[in-house]
Amino acid sequence: MDIADKINLIKNSPTEEIVTESELLDLLDKENHPKHYIGLEMSGPLHLGSLFMTGNKINDFIKAGVKTQIYLADWHSFINNKLGGNWDNINTLSEYYEHAFKFFCPGVNIVRSTQLYEDTDYWMNLIKFCKKINFNRILRCLTIMGRSEKENLDFSQYLYPSMQAVDIKTLDLDIVHSGTDQRKIHMLVREVFPKLGWKVPVSIHHHIISGLSVPDAHSNDSQNPKSFTKMSKSQPDKSIFINDSEEIIHKKIKKTKIVSKEVVNNPVIEYAKYIIFHGNDELTIDRPPKFGGSLSFDNYSELEQEYRDGKIHPEDLKNSVAIKLNSMIDPIRKHLSDYEKLLQ
């Protein structure tokens, strides 16, 4: 595979940003198999965003010849009080995540933060990193862990951003990959690593999929008006989990209100764009003949145009997307059924 093809795979949706593309081009020119990672907290069952969006992008990297790894951040989950800060539950859920991603992303390497922190060099590098930043700089990064500087945090939580940065150094990475919500830590890495003479990796950020809701028209959050619509384990009614039954997925999507002809802030058509059509799949809109009969689409742009033109009713879109998502989720749902006890 030539470099242009690799670049196209890496830029493939849901990628939204590469920092920088020229650095990526230079990296691929020098390294046939650069080292990649994406880090995940263990906070609850996997959903469309955490498994499908993340996993599809990892698979793009694998096809491009990149050495991919998923970093299961068990220490970070503990520090951030995920699962109530219960270490046993975090460890158990880590096992569940490992089974899921090994099935969804054949060939990916799985690493846990526990494995890194046994090395005393890690802690020396953490101190070196911390000596290059001040407390206010850390406060600006707290959003990467879903926190704000106004919260009353314990001291360990202020170490979280620096630990995440030093994880990147310790893993000797060429490419750091995340959702757009982790961008701030990668920019901190780009700012501090050169001061220490450490390798600066290319940063790649992918789209964060919305939950089954639309933004509140009266929201005062002008900085991030869609932040509350992110698919999240903390909002189970607005998330599609991999362990949800076929019936539950249909019910969740059916009760979602979407506007006819409107594709902005429409989570259902967003799932078609980023999940269904990621692998050049096909979507059929099933309708009886009296309503125009069924329509089949093999690309997202045609589906979007037909919906914008009012040729697809919102209820038909919701029903067809639910059917298609269930067919895509079913193999991984069946595989993980043997590990359901890990979620209890």
Q: What is the pLDDT of residues 189-210, one digit of tens each?
A: 999 999 999 999 999 999 999 9
What pLDDT is attached to residue 215? 52
What pLDDT is attached to residue 159? 93
pLDDT surpassing 80 at residue 134: yes
CB-CB contact of 200 with 192 (8 Å): no
Using DSSP's 3-state secondary structure scheme, residue 37 falls into strand
Query: If you average pLDDT over every residue of the chain, what do you get?
Result: 91
Instruction: Tell me the pairing of strands 202-206 and 283-285.
Output: unpaired
**Tokens describing residue 31:** 């390294």
Terminal Cα distance for the chain, rounded:
44
Query: Range(s) for CATH 3.40.50.620 in the chain?
Result: 3-206
- Which residue shows structure tokens 């990621």? 278
Distance between alpha carbon 105 and the CA centroid of its chain, in Å?
14
Query: Range(s) for CATH 1.10.240.10 in the chain?
Result: 227-343
Range 289-295 contact pairs with CB under 8 angstroms and sequence separation of 24 or more = 291/316
pLDDT surpassing 80 at residue 218: no
Domain 227-343 of CATH type 1.10.240.10: yes
**Tokens describing residue 97:** 């995540």
Q: From CA 241, how far away is CA 249, in angstroms rounded?
A: 8
What pLDDT is attached to residue 340? 73
What pLDDT is attached to residue 344? 63
What pLDDT is attached to residue 284? 94
**Tokens describing residue 254:** 């059916």
Backbone torsions φ then ψ of 37, nearest 5 degrees: -150, 160
Segment 261-265 shows an average pLDDT of 93
Tell me what percent of the chain is helix, strand and coil, each rounded to the nearest 5.
55, 10, 35
Task: Tell me the C-alpha to C-alpha distance, in Å, between residue 46 and each of 18, 136, 247, 332.
Answer: 26, 33, 18, 11
Q: From CA 188, how far away is CA 190, in angstroms rounded?
A: 5
Buried b (16+ CB within 10 A) or exposed e, 150-186: eeebeeebbbbbbbbbbbbbbbebbbbbbbebbbebb
Lowest-pLDDT choice from 31-40, 146-155, 323-332: 146-155
CB-CB contact of 57 with 207 (8 Å): no
What are 17's strand-pairing partners? 205
pLDDT surpassing 50 at residue 302: yes
CATH code, residues 3-206 = 3.40.50.620
What pLDDT is attached to residue 79? 93
Cα radius of gyration rounded to whole Å, the chain: 21
What are 300's strand-pairing partners? none
